[in-house]
Structure 1
């Protein structure tokens, strides 16, 4: 088992080394934040797209009927019919 003082010393050294790297490369944080933000946005977008397609699809992955998907499709058809009659 490690002693707390040894772990604290190693953590202090790691933080010190990290601060020196950041001081030498000021754009490192900005670039890392941009890459991290882009990755998070991509993952969130993919998850949202997957959830939306599952919600709109009238038949789910197991082959069962999805009532919410049928309702959404009926609403879309009703809106299109209304717009066609109106215009």
Structure 2
């Protein structure tokens, strides 16, 4: 893995962790990431698959926040900052 890829992975992990702390579920984060990835033009997309590795017990968080559209918007904002 190149340094730039490692840095991007770390940044995404930090953004996802912050969203989990806000109460989003891993499924909601996954769905939002999928939405963002689908919106990227193919000429800018990497040919390598995106892999996220998170090992967090989200049992209590699964009952919070059901709107994936809002999550996608917030995740997009986090990644832009």
The structure whose residues are more often helix, as a share, is: 1
Do Structure 1 and Structure 2 share a fold, with TM-score over 0.5? Answer: no
TM-score (norm 1): 0.28
What TM-score comes out, normalization by structure 2 length? 0.30
Which of structures 1 and 2 has the larger relative contact order (alpha carbons within 8 angstroms, sep 6+)? Answer: 2
Structure of higher CA gyration radius: 1
